[in-house]
Amino acid sequence: MKINKYPDKNTWSELIKRPVLKREKLTEIIFDIFKNVEENGDQALIDFNKKFDNAEVKNIQVSEEEIENAESIISDELKLAIQQAKDNITKFHASQIVEIEKIETTKGVVCWRENRAIEKVGIYIPGGTAPLFSTVLMLAIPAQLAGCKEIILCTPPDKNGNINPAILYTAKLCGVTKIFKTGGAQAIAAMTFGTESIPKVYKIFGPGNQYVVAAKEYCQKFGVAIDMPAGPSEVLVIADENAIPEFCAADLLSQTEHGSDSQVIFISTNEKIFNQTIKETENQLKELPRNELAKESLKNSHFILLSTIDEALEFSNLYAPEHLILALEDFEKYIPKIQNAGSVFLGNYSCESAGDYASGTNHTLPTNGFAKNYSGVSLDSFVKKITFQNLSEEGLQNLGETIEIMAEAEGLFAHKNAVTIRLNKENERI
Site residues for a copy of itself, 91-130, by CB under 8 A, read 91-92, 95-96, 98, 101, 103, 105-106, 109, 111, 113-114, 116, 118-119, 129-130
Q: At residue 171, what are phi and psi to the nearest 5 degrees? A: -60, -45
Give the amino acid at 268.
S
Three-state secondary structure string covering 44-90: HHHHHHHHHHCCCCCCCECCHHHHHHHHHHCCHHHHHHHHHHHHHHH
Residue nearer to a copy of itself on the CB measure, 60 or 351:
351
**283 contacts a copy of itself (rule: CB under 8 A):** no
Residues 327-386 that bind a copy of itself (CB under 8 A): 331, 335, 338-362, 366, 368-376, 378, 380, 383-386
R_g of the chain, CA atoms, integer Å = 26
What is d(CA 221, CA 427) in angstroms, rounded to the nearest whole number?
50
Options 82, 125, 278, 309; binder of a copy of itself; rule CB under 8 A? 82
Catalytic residue among 93, 323, 363, 404: 323
Kindly tell me which of 58 and 411 has the beta carbon lying closer to a copy of itself. 411
Establish whether 96 is an annotated binding residue: no
- Is residue 363 part of the annotated active site? The answer reads no
- Please, which residues bridge with residue 138 across strands? none
* Interface with a copy of itself in residues 3-42 (CB under 8 A): none
Q: Which of 65, 307, 333, 421 binds a copy of itself (CB under 8 A)?
A: 421
Among residues 123, 265, 147, 125, the alpha carbon closest in space to that of 201 is found at 123
Shortest distance, position 5 Cβ to a copy of itself, whole Å: 26
Q: Is the backbone of residue 194 left (phi > 0), alpha (psi -120 to 50) or beta?
A: left
209 annotated ligand binder: yes
CB-based contacts of 263: which residues, under 8 Å, 6+ apart?
18, 19, 232, 233, 234, 235, 255, 297, 300, 301
Per CB under 8 A, contacts with a copy of itself among 181-210 are: 202-203
The answer to whether 398 is a known ligand-binding residue is no
Q: Choose, from 280, 322, 352, 404, the residue flagged as catalytic.
A: 322
Give the relative orientation of helices 64-73 and 165-173 as an angle to the nearest 10 degrees: 110
Binding mask 253-282 for a copy of itself (x = CB under 8 A): xx-xxx------------------------
Residues 214-233 that bind a copy of itself (CB under 8 A): 220, 223-225, 229
In angstroms, what CA-CA distances link 137 with 91, 172, 173, 343? Answer: 13, 10, 9, 17
Annotated active-site positions, please?
322-323
Could you tell me which residues are annotated as the binding site for substrate?
233, 255, 258, 323, 356, 410, 415
